[in-house]
Amino acid sequence: MKKTSLDRILQSQGFGSRKGCRDLIEDGEVKVNGELVTKWKTEFDPEGLQFTVFDEEWEYREKVYLVLNKPSGYECSRKPTHHPAVLTLLPENMEWRDVQPVGRLDHDTTGMLLLSDDGAFIYAQSSPKRHQPKTYLATTAEPVSDKLVADLLAGVKLIDEDEPIAAVSAVQRGENQIEIVLEQGKYHQVKRMLAAAGNHCAALSRTAIGDLQLAELDLEIGEWRFLTEAELAILNR
């Protein structure tokens, strides 16, 4: 990549305005490859650049692709109304980078949430045309019955939908737990489908997107990390 001044590099990584990034550098808060740099005009090749801001280590990334194990009580919105924004669980520079959730989980739904500042990635992952399956584990108010499973697989009629909506798969996982795989991504879909089938959702967690499994990501509730190239390849299949 073309060499770029350090202030521009920091700005692209979400560490503030150009002036704010220059102040960080001149105040001695930035190191590049372990060496203190105090002149903001100093140029570097951004590709693979390792740097620290306030002694926290970072690597230059043209775009970021994150996965979060979302806790309950957070809204997937940049302008939340009743609960904290899920973006508050990320470092501040991610908001400066305009990182956004890929789709939404309800404030009381937990589990796998992707976030990125790559508009093309967000669109591709959110588009219903891709039929990207998403797996949910629902805890139900009433015991799971064979009829409930059968109805979800056959399709249930939702208000404002012209045709019945069916689950890709529905498997009982406990007396009051059912794993449901969906492709449509309708508003409150799992909750509405369970209600239409005669039960109610007491708790809900997204456990997988496509073949990417939350259980394999080693993330505690509330933790996030960058997706690896291999994990991105799984999502982009």
| Helix, strand, coil share of the chain (percent; to 5) | 25, 30, 45
The tally of CA atoms less than 13 A away on the side-chain side of residue 174 is 8
Distance CA 123, CA 119 (A): 6
The answer to whether 106 is a known catalytic residue is: yes
Find the DSSP H helices in 32-179: 92-96, 119-126, 146-154
Q: Taking the C-alpha atoms of 183, 159, 178 and 153 in order, what is their torsion angle to the nearest 10 degrees?
A: -60
Instruction: Point out the catalytic residue in the list 23, 106, 108, 118.
Output: 106
Residue 158 backbone dihedrals phi, psi, to 5 degrees? -105, 150
Residue 21 backbone dihedrals phi, psi, to 5 degrees? -70, -35
Active site residues: 106
